[in-house]
Structure 1
Amino acid sequence: CWSVTYTSQSICVLKGSSVDISCSYTYPSYHEVKKTFWFTKWDPGKEPEDLILVPGNEGHIDYHGDKKNDCTLRITDLRLTDSSEYRFRFITSGGHFSGSPVSLTVTGNLSHLFYHVDSIPLPVQPTSVSEGNRVTLTCTTKCSLDPNPEYSWYKNGQPIENTNTNSTVHILSVSSEDAGKYSCGVKGHEALLSPEETLSVTYGPKNTSVSVSPSAEIMEGSSVTLTCSSDANPPVDKYTWYKKTVTSPKASGQSYSITNITSEDSGEYHCEAHNRKGTKNSTAQMIIVADSSPVYDNVSDMVMTSTAAQTADTDNQDDLHYASIHYSSSREQEVPLYSTVQSSQPQKQEEEVQYAALKFNCPSAATR
């Protein structure tokens, strides 16, 4: 009976590791085994070439079997180019026989990640996901190294905390914060993570705001620039400017400049940001224009006018004279009369001081 039996018909291993392709073979008992070898290529009409004799395979591929019934092949320091279908062949004194192929896969990436939106049938993977959709991330392995592998999840190269170790992760309502580059791997083989897969989340404008330049006091006749900022994906494709109490838009574009500004430009301004996902208005920005005109056109004229007016008023006023009358509690003392206002002096407790203001009108020229 002729046969070649393999322990596994399909083997998946990691690049740089070693593998034993275990097998056994049988033949008629009265035959003597003359030659055993492994090969990968077999051209019809030609005897296949022994892998051990292929240049570059010395020390890399070794036959660990014998010429009785063991046909194990060992490959060390596996290369990606070692992926192929391997077959064992033996020749006896009475014939020859080749076994069926064994599939060997050498991979540099243990895992592969893909995501899909639950509302879109598989196998379609969208280039972007709308905010609010449910998204499922799935990690698959090219090599079943463990019967029940546990998985690790990463975002932007950092482990995702508090994530399950299953092969799938569900994001119930995706948001802009979930956007990033995701990868996964089998625990115990973290050096062989899957290639990163970018999750792009689209959303309408948010955090829309207005900034003013210059930020100092705005003087009449100067220039002011308003700038609108907004977070959106895809980016904002249209900005519109409005002023309170004005129905029609004032301008369009991310920046709005007002030159030679006047008091009529004072008021509340806001911008509107728009992309294909929606529209968002900023909060109002108050613009106050200060009057830069002087209070007096000619200070020297003002001073002269004021002085002249004061002089005229003085001429028109009657002459005023003040006097103070000092009363003493002692009747024997004389009562002095002062022609000018006397500053108060410390008096003895028994004295009373009273003051009076007397007005004298000078006679006009007609009465002199």
Structure 2
Amino acid sequence: MAGNTSLAAILMLLAGVQAQQSVTLSSQSLCAVTGSTVKISCKYTTPDYYSVSKKEWYQLQNSDGEERVLTYIPGRVSVSTWWNDCDLTVRDVRVRDSGVYNFRFRTSSSDWISASSGVNLTVTELQVKVDHKTAGQRKVKVICSSTCSLREKLYYNWYRRNMRFESHIRDNFILLNSKSLSDEGSYSCEVSDGSMWRRSKPVCKSQTWPVRQHQTEEY
């Protein structure tokens, strides 16, 4: 009887210790534009008397669900190491960085501890689109957009035939004359939050403004 009581006490103690170990992430999903910086806030907790033997961020690839442990790349991928912080920062994000990210750690007496669900990061490119409401009109509204919600108070640059013709404007659109030969060519937009510029792929304009991806021009 005493042996059963001791075993139950040990199991309760271990369960209590396990409950004190956790990972907390700031959000469940993030969306970012290519070239921007993404920060995932993270905290982990564990009793002081348990030493952390290993900790790492890993990514679940969208395509096959396979885990990929992140490699810390100076200047691009970094992790905060202050006390129990585990913030992940990824700079100059690319579309291939999309996926589910999670942090985990283990101690000398526990298996891996991680958040119940990771953070789903979606990275998308800027796009130049024509407002369909203005299609066929003399003045066509051309918009710099993204599937992510762009923050307010951004700066925009516009390029025609790879040459800038509008700089540091607050609006995310321009109005062009659909019949003007001088407006012919490829267009791209550039957006900045004041620290870094990100630029879209160029899009071609014809006189009737069907918009198609430009396949040959580089920028």
- Could you tell me the TM-score, scaled by structure 1's length? 0.38
Q: For the pair shown, which has the larger CA radius of gyration, 1 or 2?
A: 1
In structure 1, the residue matched to 2:43 is 24
Which one has the bigger helix percentage?
A: 2
Partner residue of 2:30? 10
Is the 1:112–1:194 contact (alpha carbons within 8 Å) kept by the matching residues of 2? yes
Aligned mates of 1:74, 1:194 — CA distance in 2? 23
Partner of residue 99, structure 2: 84
Query: How many correspondences in the alignment?
Result: 179
1:97 to 78, 98, 113: 113
Amino acid at match of 1:70: D
1:201 — aligned with what?
207
Offset at 1:88?
A: 0.4
The answer as to whether partners of 2:33 and 2:146 remain within 8 angstroms in 1 is no
Deviations 1:18-77 (Å, cap 9, x if unpaired)? 6654311124566543332111139xxxxx66434xxxx6767554426x5222335567
Q: Summarize the alignment of residues 114-193 of structure 1 with structure 2, pairs less than 5 Å apart.
A: 114-118=129-133, 130=136, 132-141=137-146, 147-160=152-165, 165-171=170-176, 174-177=178-181, 178-187=183-192, 192-193=198-199
Q: CA deviation at 1:13?
A: 6.1
Q: Does 1:51 find its partner at 2:70?
A: yes
Distance 2:167 2:110 in 1: 65
Paired residue type of 1:102: V
Q: CA deviation at 1:139?
A: 0.8
Q: For the aligned residues, what is the CA RMSD?
A: 4.1
Structure 2 counterpart of 1:103, one-letter code: N
CA distance in 2, matches of 1:154, 1:174: 17
The Cα shift of 1:114 comes to: 0.3
Unaligned stretches of 5+ residues in structure 1: 43-47, 120-128, 203-368
Is 1:34 equivalent to 2:53 in the alignment? yes
The 3 A distance-change label for structure 1 pair 25 and 200 is: same
Counterpart in 2 of 1:65? 81
TM-superposition CA deviations, 1:285-330 (whole Å, max 9, x none) = xxxxxxxxxxxxxxxxxxxxxxxxxxxxxxxxxxxxxxxxxxxxxx
Task: Give the whole-Å Cα distance in 1 for the aligned partners of 2:112 and 2:196.
Answer: 46
Matched-pair contact (CA < 8 Å) for 1:61–1:74: yes
Give the superposition deviation at 1:184: 1.3
Note the residue ranges of structure 2 that are not aligned, 5 or more in a row.
1-19, 62-66, 209-219
- Structure-1 separation of matches of 2:139 and 2:92: 43
Deviation of 1:166 (Å): 0.4
Letter of the 1:12 counterpart: A
Seen in structure 2, the aligned counterparts of structure 1 residues 62 and 193 have a Cα distance that, compared at 3 Å, is: closer
CA shift for structure 1 position 98: 1.4
Mark the CA change 1:175 to 1:78 in structure 2 (over 3 Å): closer, same or farther: closer
Helix, strand or coil: the match of 1:71? coil
In structure 2, distance between residues paired with 1:149 and 1:58: 28
1:169 positional shift: 2.6
**Match of 1:201, SS?**
coil
Aligned to 1:277: none
Please state whether the residue corresponding to 1:40 is helix, strand or coil: strand
Q: Deviations over 1:319-357 (max 9, x none)?
A: xxxxxxxxxxxxxxxxxxxxxxxxxxxxxxxxxxxxxxx
| Alignment CA distance shift 1:24-1:201 (3 Å) | same
Shift of 1:14: 4.6
Cross-structure match for 1:320? none
Task: Write the distance in 1 (CA, Å) between the matches of 2:26 and 2:120.
Answer: 12
Return the alpha-carbon distance in structure 2 between the equivalents of residues 175 and 72 of structure 1. Answer: 52
Contact 2:34–2:92, Cα closer than 8 Å, also in 1: no
Which has the larger share of strand?
A: 2
